[in-house]
Structure 1
């Protein structure tokens, strides 16, 4: 059995080398949910992008009954966009798009913001600072995640309409629940494991779902990850108006 490999990422595991000073980032919830940072030039296979794509995949594993997970495309994004082409999956077009399906898609989309934040600041810090969201979202890393957020907000609109909720409240509820998932025992370890697996196979062009799942299932973090998945799904579904309110 392969052990769950750990990347040499001090910040990813909350190891602080210097005192962190948080600068407040207050914003009006009526106007904007997030203020996206200007992205810096980053190589196509920068490790942070591998971590965020791994997070997309790990979140998508919760919804295998609804989606046919295919592979992660490791080729650079088209049109000089940063990062890689990323996770590819299908869904039978004949199936009805229920609110929970849009919710699944939104959770996959926003996983990049969660992963980028935990990767930069560490689980311990994000676990503490999450209680300040949304009033103070200074610790949320949005650099390079703008397109994911656009898809996230679009996917949640049908959910908000169905339950007659304000879109901004539904969005923050979903963001916080996504962070909760990645902070559960075994989940961030699974993200790091998949990120390293991607890195090891980066010259292959793609890495298949079958390969990733088989490798992950042999890791030491897999039992805790499976337990976390079960708990997350039981807590999130079925969707109700009350469960989607911002303070729940």
Structure 2
């Protein structure tokens, strides 16, 4: 629920200094406050640009016109690197009194949009980490229990709109090396609350692929739904995506419940 401020235009001494302070607090000051606060939360990145648009009249009414966060090379949970992420929030309701002391405090949640770009190299890095938790398995081949070891995985983003996941497997008893692979075509679910995968095709060594790559596939789903992105006060919900050769672009709904503190 927003806060209601009743600003009087009386020339009584107690209100006069307040308006001088609002006039002094311009976009440059608010930008600096926002950039410092976000820098502490988005600390593992290559580049960060924060731009707040407002003016003294809007701020006196408790409104920031917009907030744009443009971040390059951001590292989030599970070592996922985002090539770029751009978040735009509009009409942000804030407490003007708090803003005067350098504290951007939301009086109601704000919504906007986000665009995230991922590369197949960055996705592969996360999947490689996932195999550390699912590296060794025991499977039955020709009625014999055989120990197999998943050595590496690779992600390829295809211009067909599909994702190819390949892996190398070593059979410990025979030292044989086998290739496993699967291809998926993700889509937005009908409820509109994220990406699902219901079209899976196991290519090389289908039996091995289904056993060894399914845990890796679960990690890929987490990436596609931006579950690795966890920043205090912010949320992202995937609405659209586009896969082209070597890159994946996710369009998301962005939300902010409170502004991070430095």
Q: Same fold (TM over 0.5)?
A: no
Q: As a proportion of its length, which structure holds more helix?
A: 1
Q: As a proportion of its length, which structure holds more strand?
A: 2
Higher RCO structure, 1 or 2 (CA under 8 Å, sep 6+): 1
TM-score (norm 2): 0.23
| Higher Cα Rg, which structure | 2
